[in-house]
Amino acid sequence: MSRSASPVGEPTEPRAVTRGVSVVIPVKDRVAEMRRQLRSLCDAAPNCPEPVEVVVVDDSAPVAAAAHRAACAEYGARYVRGPRHVGAKRNLGVRHARHDLLLFTDSDCRVPADLITRYAARLRASGEEVAGVTGPVIVEPGDSAFFRVMRRSYLLLGDLTRPLHYERVSWGAGANMAVKRSVFESVGGFPEDSPMPLGGEDLHLGLLLTDAGYALLTDPGGVITHDTGVADTFRAVAYRFTTYGRSEQWLCLAHPHRRRFVLNTASTLAVTALAGLLTARRSGGRSLLAVPAVAAAVVAAKTPGRLGGDRGPRAVAESMACAAIETLFDGAAFVTSLRLGRPDLLFTGFRAPDEADYQPDRPDHRPDGADRRPVLPVAAPPVAA
Protein backbone atom coordinates (compact mmCIF):
# COMPACT_ATOMS: atom_id res chain seq x y z
CA MET A 1 0.00 0.00 0.00
CA SER A 2 1.05 3.55 -0.64
CA ARG A 3 2.99 5.35 2.07
CA SER A 4 2.84 8.87 0.69
CA ALA A 5 1.96 11.90 2.80
CA SER A 6 -1.78 12.40 3.21
CA PRO A 7 -3.43 15.41 1.60
CA VAL A 8 -6.27 17.18 3.36
CA GLY A 9 -9.54 18.03 1.62
CA GLU A 10 -9.70 18.31 -2.14
CA PRO A 11 -6.68 17.23 -4.22
CA THR A 12 -4.48 20.19 -5.10
CA GLU A 13 -4.06 18.97 -8.68
CA PRO A 14 -5.62 16.34 -10.96
CA ARG A 15 -4.24 12.84 -10.48
CA ALA A 16 -3.16 10.65 -13.34
CA VAL A 17 -5.18 7.42 -13.25
CA THR A 18 -3.07 4.29 -13.47
CA ARG A 19 -3.78 0.57 -13.46
CA GLY A 20 -4.45 -0.81 -10.01
CA VAL A 21 -6.99 -0.93 -7.18
CA SER A 22 -7.87 1.97 -4.89
CA VAL A 23 -9.70 1.03 -1.69
CA VAL A 24 -11.85 3.88 -0.35
CA ILE A 25 -13.08 3.81 3.25
CA PRO A 26 -15.19 6.50 4.97
CA VAL A 27 -14.86 6.69 8.74
CA LYS A 28 -16.07 8.62 11.74
CA ASP A 29 -14.71 7.55 15.14
CA ARG A 30 -14.54 3.70 15.29
CA VAL A 31 -10.81 3.80 15.95
CA ALA A 32 -10.39 0.17 16.99
CA GLU A 33 -12.58 -1.08 14.13
CA MET A 34 -10.64 0.99 11.60
CA ARG A 35 -7.36 -0.46 12.78
CA ARG A 36 -8.69 -3.98 12.31
CA GLN A 37 -9.87 -3.10 8.82
CA LEU A 38 -6.51 -1.58 7.89
CA ARG A 39 -4.75 -4.66 9.21
CA SER A 40 -6.91 -6.92 7.05
CA LEU A 41 -6.26 -4.77 3.97
CA CYS A 42 -2.54 -4.78 4.70
CA ASP A 43 -2.69 -8.59 4.64
CA ALA A 44 -4.77 -8.67 1.44
CA ALA A 45 -2.92 -6.09 -0.65
CA PRO A 46 0.31 -8.08 -1.25
CA ASN A 47 -1.73 -10.94 -2.74
CA CYS A 48 -2.91 -8.76 -5.61
CA PRO A 49 -0.61 -8.64 -8.65
CA GLU A 50 -1.64 -5.04 -9.28
CA PRO A 51 -0.75 -1.94 -7.25
CA VAL A 52 -3.10 -1.37 -4.31
CA GLU A 53 -3.65 1.78 -2.28
CA VAL A 54 -6.00 2.57 0.60
CA VAL A 55 -7.60 5.99 1.01
CA VAL A 56 -9.28 6.75 4.35
CA VAL A 57 -11.67 9.72 4.44
CA ASP A 58 -12.42 10.87 7.98
CA ASP A 59 -14.51 13.51 9.75
CA SER A 60 -13.83 12.46 13.34
CA ALA A 61 -13.25 14.83 16.23
CA PRO A 62 -9.58 15.71 16.93
CA VAL A 63 -8.72 12.85 19.30
CA ALA A 64 -10.12 10.12 17.06
CA ALA A 65 -8.78 11.87 13.96
CA ALA A 66 -5.26 11.80 15.41
CA ALA A 67 -5.64 8.07 16.09
CA HIS A 68 -6.78 7.47 12.50
CA ARG A 69 -3.82 9.44 11.13
CA ALA A 70 -1.48 7.32 13.21
CA ALA A 71 -3.11 4.08 12.06
CA CYS A 72 -2.94 5.16 8.42
CA ALA A 73 0.74 5.97 8.81
CA GLU A 74 1.36 2.60 10.44
CA TYR A 75 -0.45 0.57 7.78
CA GLY A 76 0.54 2.61 4.75
CA ALA A 77 -2.86 4.14 3.97
CA ARG A 78 -3.48 7.74 2.94
CA TYR A 79 -5.50 9.92 5.29
CA VAL A 80 -7.90 12.57 3.98
CA ARG A 81 -10.10 14.94 5.97
CA GLY A 82 -13.60 14.86 4.57
CA PRO A 83 -17.21 15.93 5.06
CA ARG A 84 -19.85 14.26 7.21
CA HIS A 85 -21.93 12.74 4.44
CA VAL A 86 -20.84 9.19 3.57
CA GLY A 87 -21.57 9.60 -0.15
CA ALA A 88 -19.50 12.78 -0.24
CA LYS A 89 -16.70 11.03 1.64
CA ARG A 90 -16.56 8.20 -0.87
CA ASN A 91 -16.58 10.64 -3.78
CA LEU A 92 -13.76 12.65 -2.21
CA GLY A 93 -11.79 9.45 -1.71
CA VAL A 94 -12.20 8.66 -5.41
CA ARG A 95 -10.89 12.09 -6.35
CA HIS A 96 -7.79 11.33 -4.29
CA ALA A 97 -7.47 7.81 -5.68
CA ARG A 98 -4.80 6.95 -8.25
CA HIS A 99 -6.11 3.74 -9.79
CA ASP A 100 -8.72 2.65 -12.32
CA LEU A 101 -10.50 0.10 -10.13
CA LEU A 102 -12.31 1.21 -6.98
CA LEU A 103 -13.15 -0.97 -3.99
CA PHE A 104 -15.58 0.47 -1.46
CA THR A 105 -15.83 -0.93 2.05
CA ASP A 106 -16.49 0.34 5.56
CA SER A 107 -14.44 1.00 8.65
CA ASP A 108 -16.30 -1.56 10.78
CA CYS A 109 -15.66 -4.40 8.32
CA ARG A 110 -12.76 -6.72 7.50
CA VAL A 111 -11.77 -8.06 4.10
CA PRO A 112 -10.50 -11.59 3.40
CA ALA A 113 -6.98 -12.06 2.10
CA ASP A 114 -8.07 -12.86 -1.46
CA LEU A 115 -10.81 -10.24 -1.93
CA ILE A 116 -8.84 -7.57 -3.77
CA THR A 117 -7.23 -10.16 -6.02
CA ARG A 118 -10.48 -11.89 -6.99
CA TYR A 119 -12.35 -8.64 -7.64
CA ALA A 120 -9.55 -7.23 -9.76
CA ALA A 121 -9.36 -10.42 -11.81
CA ARG A 122 -13.15 -10.50 -12.26
CA LEU A 123 -13.33 -6.91 -13.47
CA ARG A 124 -10.31 -7.21 -15.78
CA ALA A 125 -11.92 -10.22 -17.45
CA SER A 126 -15.32 -8.56 -17.83
CA GLY A 127 -16.78 -6.78 -20.81
CA GLU A 128 -17.62 -3.11 -21.20
CA GLU A 129 -21.19 -3.75 -20.07
CA VAL A 130 -20.01 -4.67 -16.56
CA ALA A 131 -19.82 -1.85 -14.02
CA GLY A 132 -18.60 -3.78 -11.02
CA VAL A 133 -18.81 -6.73 -8.69
CA THR A 134 -20.27 -7.09 -5.20
CA GLY A 135 -20.18 -9.78 -2.55
CA PRO A 136 -22.05 -10.65 0.65
CA VAL A 137 -21.51 -8.87 3.94
CA ILE A 138 -21.72 -11.24 6.89
CA VAL A 139 -22.40 -9.72 10.30
CA GLU A 140 -20.50 -11.30 13.16
CA PRO A 141 -22.82 -13.08 15.60
CA GLY A 142 -23.45 -11.25 18.84
CA ASP A 143 -24.01 -12.69 22.29
CA SER A 144 -26.72 -10.30 23.45
CA ALA A 145 -30.43 -11.05 23.60
CA PHE A 146 -31.01 -7.99 21.45
CA PHE A 147 -28.86 -9.40 18.67
CA ARG A 148 -30.86 -12.63 18.78
CA VAL A 149 -33.95 -10.52 18.15
CA MET A 150 -32.52 -8.45 15.33
CA ARG A 151 -30.92 -11.38 13.51
CA ARG A 152 -34.49 -12.03 12.36
CA SER A 153 -34.82 -8.67 10.65
CA TYR A 154 -34.68 -8.89 6.88
CA LEU A 155 -35.08 -5.12 6.81
CA LEU A 156 -31.82 -4.75 8.72
CA LEU A 157 -29.69 -7.63 7.42
CA GLY A 158 -31.36 -9.25 4.42
CA ASP A 159 -29.93 -7.19 1.58
CA LEU A 160 -26.40 -7.75 2.85
CA THR A 161 -26.56 -11.36 1.72
CA ARG A 162 -28.22 -10.82 -1.69
CA PRO A 163 -25.03 -11.75 -3.59
CA LEU A 164 -25.28 -15.27 -2.16
CA HIS A 165 -28.44 -15.86 -4.17
CA TYR A 166 -27.95 -14.10 -7.50
CA GLU A 167 -25.46 -13.92 -10.34
CA ARG A 168 -26.27 -10.27 -10.99
CA VAL A 169 -27.93 -7.60 -8.86
CA SER A 170 -29.16 -4.06 -9.36
CA TRP A 171 -27.13 -2.65 -6.48
CA GLY A 172 -24.55 -3.70 -3.94
CA ALA A 173 -23.83 -2.73 -0.34
CA GLY A 174 -21.33 0.09 -0.02
CA ALA A 175 -19.44 -2.11 2.43
CA ASN A 176 -18.51 -4.58 -0.32
CA MET A 177 -18.51 -3.28 -3.86
CA ALA A 178 -15.80 -2.85 -6.51
CA VAL A 179 -16.44 -0.80 -9.64
CA LYS A 180 -14.62 0.44 -12.69
CA ARG A 181 -13.67 4.04 -12.13
CA SER A 182 -14.61 5.16 -15.62
CA VAL A 183 -18.15 3.84 -15.18
CA PHE A 184 -18.44 5.23 -11.65
CA GLU A 185 -17.49 8.70 -12.85
CA SER A 186 -19.77 8.51 -15.89
CA VAL A 187 -22.88 8.32 -13.67
CA GLY A 188 -21.68 10.96 -11.23
CA GLY A 189 -20.66 8.75 -8.31
CA PHE A 190 -22.49 8.56 -5.00
CA PRO A 191 -25.23 11.09 -4.20
CA GLU A 192 -24.35 13.85 -1.78
CA ASP A 193 -27.83 15.34 -1.28
CA SER A 194 -29.59 12.57 0.67
CA PRO A 195 -31.17 13.78 3.95
CA MET A 196 -29.04 11.66 6.27
CA PRO A 197 -25.25 11.26 6.40
CA LEU A 198 -25.68 7.60 5.47
CA GLY A 199 -28.41 5.39 4.09
CA GLY A 200 -29.50 4.79 0.53
CA GLU A 201 -26.42 6.14 -1.23
CA ASP A 202 -25.27 2.69 -2.37
CA LEU A 203 -28.75 1.77 -3.62
CA HIS A 204 -28.98 5.05 -5.52
CA LEU A 205 -25.60 4.46 -7.17
CA GLY A 206 -26.55 0.92 -8.13
CA LEU A 207 -29.74 2.09 -9.80
CA LEU A 208 -27.85 4.79 -11.69
CA LEU A 209 -25.49 2.11 -13.01
CA THR A 210 -28.17 -0.39 -13.95
CA ASP A 211 -30.48 2.26 -15.41
CA ALA A 212 -27.55 3.31 -17.60
CA GLY A 213 -27.39 -0.26 -18.94
CA TYR A 214 -24.49 -1.58 -16.89
CA ALA A 215 -24.40 -4.90 -15.03
CA LEU A 216 -23.32 -5.43 -11.44
CA LEU A 217 -22.04 -8.98 -11.00
CA THR A 218 -21.89 -10.93 -7.76
CA ASP A 219 -19.18 -13.01 -6.18
CA PRO A 220 -20.60 -15.24 -3.41
CA GLY A 221 -17.06 -16.04 -2.29
CA GLY A 222 -16.13 -12.39 -1.81
CA VAL A 223 -17.33 -12.32 1.79
CA ILE A 224 -16.64 -9.28 3.93
CA THR A 225 -17.13 -9.56 7.70
CA HIS A 226 -19.08 -6.79 9.42
CA ASP A 227 -18.72 -5.92 13.10
CA THR A 228 -21.61 -7.13 15.27
CA GLY A 229 -22.33 -3.59 16.47
CA VAL A 230 -24.75 -2.97 13.59
CA ALA A 231 -27.37 -5.15 15.30
CA ASP A 232 -26.17 -5.53 18.88
CA THR A 233 -27.80 -2.56 20.65
CA PHE A 234 -31.10 -0.74 20.45
CA ARG A 235 -29.31 2.55 19.87
CA ALA A 236 -27.44 1.24 16.82
CA VAL A 237 -30.53 -0.38 15.32
CA ALA A 238 -32.73 2.65 16.02
CA TYR A 239 -30.23 4.86 14.23
CA ARG A 240 -30.16 2.50 11.25
CA PHE A 241 -33.93 2.29 10.96
CA THR A 242 -34.28 6.05 11.35
CA THR A 243 -31.79 6.76 8.60
CA TYR A 244 -33.24 4.05 6.37
CA GLY A 245 -36.77 5.37 6.85
CA ARG A 246 -35.78 8.93 5.99
CA SER A 247 -33.73 7.76 3.04
CA GLU A 248 -36.69 5.70 1.79
CA GLN A 249 -38.67 8.86 1.12
CA TRP A 250 -35.70 10.54 -0.52
CA LEU A 251 -35.30 7.53 -2.80
CA CYS A 252 -39.00 7.78 -3.68
CA LEU A 253 -38.41 11.33 -4.85
CA ALA A 254 -35.14 10.53 -6.62
CA HIS A 255 -36.65 7.49 -8.38
CA PRO A 256 -40.37 8.25 -8.67
CA HIS A 257 -40.95 5.34 -11.04
CA ARG A 258 -40.07 3.00 -8.17
CA ARG A 259 -42.68 4.29 -5.74
CA ARG A 260 -45.31 1.84 -4.52
CA PHE A 261 -48.20 1.72 -2.09
CA VAL A 262 -47.12 0.66 1.40
CA LEU A 263 -49.28 0.21 4.47
CA ASN A 264 -47.00 2.33 6.62
CA THR A 265 -47.57 1.38 10.26
CA ALA A 266 -47.09 4.88 11.63
CA SER A 267 -49.39 6.40 9.02
CA THR A 268 -52.00 3.73 9.72
CA LEU A 269 -51.87 4.43 13.46
CA ALA A 270 -52.10 8.18 12.84
CA VAL A 271 -55.22 7.75 10.72
CA THR A 272 -56.69 5.38 13.31
CA ALA A 273 -55.98 7.86 16.10
CA LEU A 274 -57.55 10.71 14.13
CA ALA A 275 -60.66 8.66 13.45
CA GLY A 276 -60.79 7.69 17.13
CA LEU A 277 -60.60 11.31 18.23
CA LEU A 278 -63.33 12.38 15.83
CA THR A 279 -65.66 9.69 17.12
CA ALA A 280 -64.59 9.71 20.77
CA ARG A 281 -67.55 11.70 22.08
CA ARG A 282 -70.07 9.54 20.31
CA SER A 283 -68.37 6.29 21.41
CA GLY A 284 -67.68 7.40 24.94
CA GLY A 285 -63.93 7.22 24.24
CA ARG A 286 -64.02 3.57 23.27
CA SER A 287 -63.00 4.42 19.70
CA LEU A 288 -59.54 5.36 20.96
CA LEU A 289 -58.97 1.75 21.91
CA ALA A 290 -58.63 1.06 18.20
CA VAL A 291 -55.10 2.52 18.25
CA PRO A 292 -53.45 -0.11 20.49
CA ALA A 293 -55.61 -2.78 18.85
CA VAL A 294 -54.37 -1.85 15.37
CA ALA A 295 -50.77 -1.64 16.64
CA ALA A 296 -51.02 -5.12 18.13
CA ALA A 297 -52.62 -6.44 14.93
CA VAL A 298 -49.81 -5.04 12.78
CA VAL A 299 -47.11 -6.60 14.96
CA ALA A 300 -48.99 -9.91 15.02
CA ALA A 301 -49.35 -9.88 11.24
CA LYS A 302 -45.61 -9.30 10.74
CA THR A 303 -44.45 -11.85 13.31
CA PRO A 304 -44.82 -15.07 11.25
CA GLY A 305 -42.51 -13.72 8.57
CA ARG A 306 -39.69 -13.51 11.12
CA LEU A 307 -40.08 -16.91 12.70
CA GLY A 308 -38.21 -18.96 10.13
CA GLY A 309 -38.29 -22.66 10.90
CA ASP A 310 -38.42 -22.21 14.68
CA ARG A 311 -41.92 -22.01 16.19
CA GLY A 312 -40.99 -22.22 19.86
CA PRO A 313 -42.06 -19.66 22.49
CA ARG A 314 -38.71 -17.84 22.46
CA ALA A 315 -38.74 -17.59 18.67
CA VAL A 316 -42.25 -16.14 18.76
CA ALA A 317 -41.24 -13.60 21.41
CA GLU A 318 -38.11 -12.60 19.49
CA SER A 319 -40.05 -12.28 16.24
CA MET A 320 -42.72 -10.11 17.85
CA ALA A 321 -40.03 -7.87 19.35
CA CYS A 322 -38.30 -7.65 15.97
CA ALA A 323 -41.52 -6.66 14.20
CA ALA A 324 -42.20 -4.01 16.85
CA ILE A 325 -38.70 -2.52 16.60
CA GLU A 326 -38.94 -2.39 12.80
CA THR A 327 -41.82 0.08 13.12
CA LEU A 328 -39.11 2.69 13.82
CA PHE A 329 -38.45 2.58 10.08
CA ASP A 330 -42.09 3.42 9.34
CA GLY A 331 -42.06 6.14 11.94
CA ALA A 332 -39.08 7.84 10.34
CA ALA A 333 -40.68 7.63 6.89
CA PHE A 334 -43.91 9.09 8.30
CA VAL A 335 -42.15 12.04 9.96
CA THR A 336 -40.09 12.71 6.83
CA SER A 337 -43.22 12.82 4.69
CA LEU A 338 -44.70 15.48 6.97
CA ARG A 339 -41.48 17.49 7.07
CA LEU A 340 -41.30 17.44 3.28
CA GLY A 341 -44.89 18.59 3.05
CA ARG A 342 -45.64 15.50 0.97
CA PRO A 343 -48.76 13.77 2.33
CA ASP A 344 -48.76 11.66 -0.84
CA LEU A 345 -45.76 9.82 0.64
CA LEU A 346 -47.54 8.80 3.86
CA PHE A 347 -48.56 5.50 2.32
CA THR A 348 -45.77 5.29 -0.21
CA GLY A 349 -42.55 3.30 -0.07
CA PHE A 350 -39.60 2.69 -2.31
CA ARG A 351 -39.97 -0.35 -4.52
CA ALA A 352 -36.70 -2.21 -4.45
CA PRO A 353 -35.61 -3.65 -7.80
CA ASP A 354 -37.95 -6.32 -9.05
CA GLU A 355 -36.98 -9.94 -8.83
CA ALA A 356 -36.84 -9.77 -12.62
CA ASP A 357 -33.97 -7.33 -12.28
CA TYR A 358 -31.90 -10.08 -10.68
CA GLN A 359 -30.43 -13.19 -12.20
CA PRO A 360 -31.15 -16.08 -9.80
CA ASP A 361 -28.16 -18.24 -9.03
CA ARG A 362 -29.73 -20.74 -6.65
CA PRO A 363 -31.79 -23.51 -8.33
CA ASP A 364 -34.54 -23.44 -5.70
CA HIS A 365 -34.97 -19.68 -5.84
CA ARG A 366 -38.58 -18.77 -6.45
CA PRO A 367 -38.91 -15.96 -9.02
CA ASP A 368 -42.26 -14.92 -7.58
CA GLY A 369 -40.37 -13.34 -4.70
CA ALA A 370 -41.61 -15.74 -2.04
CA ASP A 371 -38.12 -16.95 -1.26
CA ARG A 372 -36.78 -13.78 0.32
CA ARG A 373 -35.11 -15.36 3.32
CA PRO A 374 -31.68 -13.92 4.08
CA VAL A 375 -28.87 -16.27 4.94
CA LEU A 376 -28.18 -14.60 8.24
CA PRO A 377 -24.63 -14.50 9.58
CA VAL A 378 -25.47 -16.38 12.73
CA ALA A 379 -26.48 -19.88 13.71
CA ALA A 380 -30.12 -19.01 13.31
CA PRO A 381 -33.06 -20.32 11.31
CA PRO A 382 -33.64 -18.71 7.92
CA VAL A 383 -35.82 -15.66 8.27
CA ALA A 384 -38.51 -14.69 5.82
CA ALA A 385 -39.19 -11.22 4.56
Percent of the chain with pLDDT over 70: 88
- Of 19-28, 157-166, 217-226, the one with minimum mean pLDDT is 157-166
CA dist list (Å): 332 to 13, 265, 284, 326: 41, 11, 32, 11
Instruction: Output the pLDDT for position 158.
Output: 85
Over residues 87-93, the mean pLDDT reads 95
Whether the pLDDT of residue 366 is over 50: the answer is no
The pTM of the whole model exceeds 0.85? yes
Band the pLDDT of 361: cuts 50, 70, 90.
low
Over residues 220-242, the mean pLDDT reads 93
Over residues 246-260, the mean pLDDT reads 89
Q: What is the pLDDT of residues 183-228, one digit of tens each?
A: 999 999 999 988 777 788 999 999 999 999 999 999 999 999 999 9
Instruction: Output the pLDDT for position 114.
Output: 97
Domains and CATH numbers, the chain: 18-232 (3.90.550.10), 254-353 (no CATH)
Instruction: Output the pLDDT for position 358.
Output: 60
